[in-house]
Amino acid sequence: AFQRTEAPRPPGAKDLHAYPWDKSSLKSMPVDLQQFKKLDAYALKVNVKNSVEDLVKALLQQARTDLEKVRAIWMWICHHIEYDVVGYHNKSQLSSKPRDVLQMGKSICEGYAELFEHMCSLAGIQCKKLSGHAKGHGYKTGQTFTGDSDHAWNAVYLEGRWHLLDSTWGSGSVDDSFTKFTYRYNEFYFLTHPALFINNHFPDNSNWQLLKPTLTLKEFENNMLHNSNFYTLGLLAAHPDTPIIQTVNGKASVSVECRPGTLFMFKLKGAEKHGLMTLIKHGMKLDVYPQKTGSHKLEIFAKPSKAEASDDVYKCVVEYVVECESVDEATRFPRDLHQPVGPSWFSEHQGFLRPSHREPVLHTNDGRCSFTFTLGKDISVLTSLHTDGSSLAEDMGRRHVLQTHRGNQIELKVHLPHAGSFVLKIYSKKKSDPGNYDYIFNYLIRCLNTEVKWPAFPRSYSKWLQDYEILEPLSGLLPANRNVQFKLKMHGIAKVLVQAENIHPLTQNRGCWEGTCSTSGCREVFVMVHENANHSFYSHVLKYEVETQ
């Protein structure tokens, strides 16, 4: 029933792929996964355990081409053989003979690779078991490899060329303590492009890298480890491309290049702190400032922005070790700073277009700054200012930012209460939406000038409409015993009054309501409007405080 396979030929020139990776395909030959759907489903259901021959016979019933035969064998092994964590610690008791692996339903890499090779040869397909070093479980960034090889995988001969696969890593993963195996199918290790496979598999015989040029063990050790998530999520490159980074003046910088629409986060020593990350169209940039000397693990996570619910989690894509020689004490970030910082394609998708400031950090000398955006349709905006310590309670944090709308333009004026580092948070919702505001993005604002001490803007009430504008006074704290000039842009109202100790009406002049009011003898000043000349009641729109003597 089975054809004999001739002895496998060694890899030659036509099997080789260029290194480094050309960013084209994740696989070494064109594979249409949609076309495998029926075959995959069939292979998973095959339940034959009495002999390897009968198992292969059953799998081949639905497979015509060599590629389909290899796929059916691969699918079955990845979903029916589990990694033997107990056997791994006691290898002398372990058999990796195909018949025993099938009976037990579990093995270590050696057994996976031997079963794969044997099933392929029964199916008439040339297959070879390869051994070498792998950056797998227990690998430490920057470590060297000595002594015997520690992993096994396979090469298969399809359509006139050799291809690589690893059914152990295709089947799932082992937890950190190496006591529990979890089935988690990984498509990445089926016919992986050799320039990507070399990332974590180094064969004893370098011809089986299937690369030109081949890498040395030293290059393999020094190369950045990108796990399969890195490529499956469409990431293309990470810089620097060495796993250990030295800080320069207390700072280390990393960037990732990817296809558009990827979201990122990071952890330095397990916490999303001491860093400034910005999203750019084709990736992200990150500066970290460790606050202690020594070695710090830096992990970068990614997820697609339009994720299916099942994929809507951040997955670790790359790890660095940051060696910090000196700490930059001056660069500390406020607790409330949220990553990423600054505007990006993400805030643009949420309707904040053409930002006046594209950089994440803004330095102000006099403690004042202003941000403008063009707003998408039907957007209502909420803002707040935050800093460490208790100088800004929540309601005050809102009142240090003043929103002004002119058509579809929004201006955010910020007056800082004192020197320091502040976070300007920006939230939005659809005007037509009754629900809560969603956080969109934030800026970091820095001011070193210790003379700075701006009061909050006046308090506004619900009748103060979005496109009204305060021209003066902008300060919510008025001087005592002074005549204060008022100038407000408001439309669609009949009368405006300023109520201090006495009532002062404002007069309309070219779309502005203007006038003066004395602050003597009062602690608060209100601006009130008459919406309709025939009504007798007023609505409060603004409230100012008056300085105490």
Residue 334 maps to a domain: no
d(Cα 107, Cα 83) in Å, to the nearest integer? 5
Residues 482 and 390 in one domain: no
- Residue 179 domain boundaries: 15-211
Residues 105 and 194 in one domain: yes
Residues 33 and 95 in one domain: yes
Candidates 80, 151, 226, 274; catalytic one: 151
Candidates 118, 166, 369, 415; catalytic one: 166
Hey, what are 171's tokens? 């089947």
Residues 70 and 196 in one domain: yes
Write a three-state SS string for 130-190: EEEEECCCCCCCCCCCCCCCCEEEEEEEECCEEEEECHHHHHEEECCCCCCEEECCCHHHE
Task: Report the pLDDT value the prediction gives residue 306, as an integer from 0 to 100.
Answer: 83
Q: Which CATH number is 488's domain given?
A: 2.60.40
Residues 513 and 408 in one domain: no
301 bridge partner residues: 265, 316
Q: Which CATH number is 48's domain given?
A: 3.10.620.30
Segments in 351-406 forming alpha helices (H): 394-399
What are the two backbone dihedrals, phi and then psi, of residue 515, each rounded to the nearest 5 degrees? 160, 175
Residue 320 maps to a domain: yes
Residues 298 and 165 in one domain: no
Domain boundary, last residue among 176, 211, 246: 211
d(Cα 503, Cα 515) in Å, to the nearest integer? 11
Residues 143 and 268 in one domain: no
Cis peptide before 30 (omega within 30 of 0): no
Q: Which CATH number is 239's domain given?
A: 2.60.40.10
- Cβ atoms 11, 206 nearer than 8 A: no
Residues 158 and 253 in one domain: no
Burial status of residue 307 (CB atoms within 10 A of its CB: 0-12, 13-18, 19 or more): middle
Residues 59 and 189 in one domain: yes
- Cβ atoms 418, 391 nearer than 8 A: yes
Active site residue 109: yes
d(Cα 540, Cα 429) in Å, to the nearest integer? 25
Task: Report the pLDDT value the prediction gives residue 310, as an integer from 0 to 100.
Answer: 67
Residue 81 maps to a domain: yes
Closest CA to 492 of 470, 513, 473, 516: 513
DSSP assignment of 283-338 equals EEEEEE--SSSEEEEEEEEEEESS--GGG-S-EEEEEEEEEESS--TT----TT--
Pairing of strands 477-478, 483-489: unpaired
Residue 222 maps to a domain: no
d(Cα 256, Cα 286) in Å, to the nearest integer? 9
Task: Report the pLDDT value the prediction gives residue 537, as an integer from 0 to 100.
Answer: 86
Residue 242 maps to a domain: yes
Task: Report the pLDDT value the prediction gives residue 309, as an integer from 0 to 100.
Answer: 62
Mean pLDDT by 10 residues, the chain (549 residues): 70 96 94 97 96 98 97 98 93 91 96 98 97 93 91 97 98 92 97 97 98 97 92 94 95 96 96 97 96 97 81 90 95 96 97 98 98 96 93 87 96 97 97 93 98 96 93 97 97 94 95 95 96 85 93
Write a three-state SS string for 418-447: CCEEEEEEEEEEECCCCCCCEEEEEEEEEE
Residue 420 maps to a domain: yes
Task: Report the pLDDT value the prediction gives residue 227, as an integer from 0 to 100.
Answer: 87
Residues 437 and 353 in one domain: yes
Domain boundary, last residue among 447, 477, 504: 447
Residues 512 and 408 in one domain: no
Residues 247 and 383 in one domain: no
Residue 333 maps to a domain: no
Candidates 109, 324, 369, 447; catalytic one: 109
Task: Report the pLDDT value the prediction gives residue 144, as an integer from 0 to 100.
Answer: 94
Count of structural domains, the chain: 4
Residue 63 maps to a domain: yes
